[in-house]
Structures are given as C-alpha cells and as structure tokens.
Amino acid sequence: MNPTELERRALSAVSAAATSDELERARVEYLGRKSELKLALRQVRDRETGMTLNALRERLERAIAEREAELERAELDRRLAEERVDVTMPGEPVPRGHLHLITQIRREVEDIFLGLGYTVVDGREVETTHYNFDALNFPPGHPSRSPLMTLFLDEETVLRTETSPSQIRTMEAQEPPVYMVSLGRVYRRDTPDATHTPIFHQVEGLAVDEGITLGDLLGTLDYLLKALFGEDRSTDFRIHHFPFTEPSVEAYVSCHLCDGSGCTVCRHSGWIEVGGSGMVDPNLFDVVGYDKERYTGFAFGWGLERIAVLRHGIPDLRELWRNDPRLLEQF
C-alpha cells in the first residue's frame, strides 16, 4: 500500500462527495473496518509505520468532518432558501389600547413641569364660590359669576369654572415657595359646538417665591410653548386682564400652519392665542396669608383641548368626548 497514493485518492473522493450519502460511502471505503488503511493499521509492526498511518487516518477523519459540515451547511442553506415567506404579510395582532389624546397632553405638560421641579396637585371639581370666585378676586359683577355662564349647585357651590381654585387651596395648605401645576376638568355653561364643550380640561400653573418676576413668567411660558409646539416656534405675549393676576398676559405662538405669514387658522394674524397668565394679584396673598411684600408669583391657566386643536388639528371638540374608536386609535 502506498500511503501517499491512498491519501490522494481518499481526499479526492471526499471532496468529490456531493451528498452525505456519497460522503458516507467514501468514509466506509477509506476508513471503514475493511478499508485498506484499517487493514494496514492492523498489520503494522513497527512504530514508525504506525505513526505515519495514524497520522494519515487523522487527516482523513478531519477532511471527512469538514466536508460533512460543508454539506450540512449547504443543505441548511437550501432548506432555508425554500422557507421564504411573503414579508409583506401582516403580523399576528397583539391587542393594544390607546391613551386618550387629552391624557397624553396632560402627561406631557405634567412631565415638562416635573422636569422644572414643580409638583402636580389634584384639585377638586365641585367648589365653593369662595374658592372659585371670591378668593380669586372676581369682582361682584364679573360675568363668570352669572348662572348664565357657570353651573351652580346652590348659591354658594359651583362646578369649578377654571382650575384656579387649586391656587388658593395649595397656598392655604403650604408656605412658600410654591411651584405647582394642577390639571383637570372644568365646567362652563357653554352650548356644545365645534369649539366649546361644557366640560373641558385646563392646566393651572403657580409659582410663588421670593423674587419671581414677569420675566420668569414669560420665560416659563416660552419654554412650555416651545416644548409643546416645537423649538422653532416664536412666542408672543400681550397684555390682558384677569381678576386673579396683575398684570395679566395672554400667550401666543406663531402659527404652525403658515409659520406666521397668515392663514385662516390664525385669522391672518400669524399668531395663535394659547392661554392666559399673569403675576399673582396681591389680593390672593392677603386671602391665604402670604407676605405680599416678600413674595411674588405668577400663574397661568390654559385649556388642554385648545392645545389638542392647535397641535393635532382636531376640527371639532365634541369628537374628543364621543369616543369613536376610529378617533381614539389615531393617537
């Protein structure tokens, strides 16, 4: 037997095997019990021949194992190639619910202010006229005090018309500094239409501390507006009048549709009114017993639905209460 010749034939048979069957046949032929090599090994008498033949056996075994792995891999590749799916077929549905758009905005606003170090306060919805009007410095003839605008339970009890009573209750409950937002339902005697619903949501903000300035109010609202409507928006602030703030300021953001050049959404002004704010009227500090010389503060109260309308283009506020799944699932 010529080991070199044997090795050449064996390796050539192994590499020529195209299936695992052919490979097995080659293994039996060259490494099987009756193979030339095995017979030769059995007859080995001298150490040197034994080492040569064993080395040859090991080389052949390795070559067969390698070829086997190659064939298996090729087999797997062939099978996988046949297992193609239409990747554009839909997946198996996993049920998913949706947070209401107003909840999403509520959380967003809460998170913005949590990030600024404010707490979130849960106010109450049924309020006394003391908290809803008197303590907030509403003058006796103010339109909001009329049963034409406000839902009364009795002469001294109302469904809160704004989230502002939470200002008084918060200040009564703690000493300054106060940094809080309070979000929730408010009630007005508004006939439902595309832009009014008798129940809607507001966010109230209140900061009372030493040295709070009008600039702090504008800076905070500028931050809020850009967080809600985009960093590229411009903001604008204009004087207004509310009973519980002095001075009072109305906040505007540049129109997201026309970018300030004028369209029907912004009534060709380039600006969209977002909500009211101002420096806390010192009369409120008198009510809650804060030192009005030492402390100043700002407050704001904005409608969450208004943010939804401006940011998401909701055309009719009543739809936010109809719970049509086709709408709920959009957000």
Partner 1 sequence: MRAPLSWLREYVTVDASTEELARRLSVSALEVDRIIDVGVADIDGNLDRFLVGRVLEVVPHPNADRLRVCQVDVGEGDARQIVCGAWNFDAGATVAVALPGALLPTLDVPLDERELRGRLSRGMILAEDEVGLGPDHAGIMLLPDTLEPGTPLVDVLPIREQVLDVTPTINRVDLLSMVGLAREVAALLDGELHPPEPEDPEVVDREPVEVVVEDPEGCPRYIGRVFRDVSVGPSPQWLRSRLHLAGMRSISNVVDVTNYVMLVYGSPLHAFDRSKLSGGRIVVRRARPGEALRTLDGVLRELDPRDLLITDGEQPVALAAIMGGEESEVGTETTEVLLEAANFEPLGILRSSERHALRTEGSNRWEKGVDPHLAEPAAVLASRLIVDLSGARLTGHVDVHSGLPERPVVRFRPTRASRLIGMEVAEAEQRALLTRFGFDVSPEWEVTVPTWRARDVTREVDVIEEVARAVLDRVPHTMPLRRHVRGRLTKEQRLRRVVEDVLVGAGLSEAYTWSLVASDPRPDAIRLPDPMSADQAVLRTTIVPGLVAAARTALDVGADAVRLFEIARVYLPSGERLPEERWRVAGVVRGGYATVKGVLETLYGALHLELRVERGEHPLLHPGKAAVTAAGWLGELHPTLLEGTWGAFELDLADLFAAVPERVVYEDVLTYPAVRQDIAVVVDEEVEVGALVDAAREAGGTLVREARVFDVYRGEQVGTGQKSVAIHLAFQSPERTLTDEEAAELRERIVAALAERFGARLRS
Scan residues 194-253 and list those touching partner 1 (CB under 8 A): 198-199, 207, 209, 211-216, 218-220, 222-223, 236-241, 246-247, 249-250
Residues 121-160 that bind partner 1 (CB under 8 A): 122, 124-128, 140-143, 146-148, 151-154, 156-157
The tokens of 58 are what?
A: 């090991």
Residues 170-199 that bind partner 1 (CB under 8 A): 177, 179, 185, 187, 189, 191, 198-199
Binds partner 1 (CB under 8 A): choice among 81, 97, 231, 232: 97
Nearest Cα to Cα of residue 135 among 284, 260, 315: 284
Q: Please report whether residue 315 would count as binding partner 1 according to CB under 8 A.
A: no
* Least CB distance to partner 1 at residue 310 (A): 18
Residue 137 region, left (φ>0) first, then alpha (ψ -120 to 50), else beta?
Answer: left
DSSP string, 50-119: HHHHHHHHHHHHHHHHHHHHHHHHHHHHHHHHHT---TTSPPPP-------HHHHHHHHHHHHHHHTT-E
Which span sits near partner 1 by CB under 8 A: 6-14, 40-48, 60-68, 264-272? 264-272
**Which element (helix H / strand E) includes 206?**
strand 199-209
* Least CB distance to partner 1 at residue 161 (A): 14
* Least CB distance to partner 1 at residue 130 (A): 10
Is residue 105 within 8 A of residue 304, CB to CB? The reply is yes
Q: Please report whether residue 117 would count as binding partner 1 according to CB under 8 A.
A: yes
Q: Please report whether residue 8 would count as binding partner 1 according to CB under 8 A.
A: no
Crossing angle for the helix pair 3-16 and 47-82, to the nearest 10 degrees: 10
Binds partner 1 (CB under 8 A): choice among 15, 49, 52, 119: 119
Is residue 162 within 8 A of residue 301, CB to CB? The reply is yes
**Which CB, 75 or 156, lies closer to partner 1?**
156
Binds partner 1 (CB under 8 A): choice among 15, 49, 52, 103: 103
Binds partner 1 (CB under 8 A): choice among 9, 25, 57, 100: 100
Nearest Cα to Cα of residue 51 among 63, 41, 38, 64: 41
Is residue 113 within 8 A of residue 205, CB to CB? The reply is yes
* Least CB distance to partner 1 at residue 172 (A): 15
Q: How many residues bind partner 1 (CB under 8 A)?
A: 84
- Owner of token pair 């739809």: 319
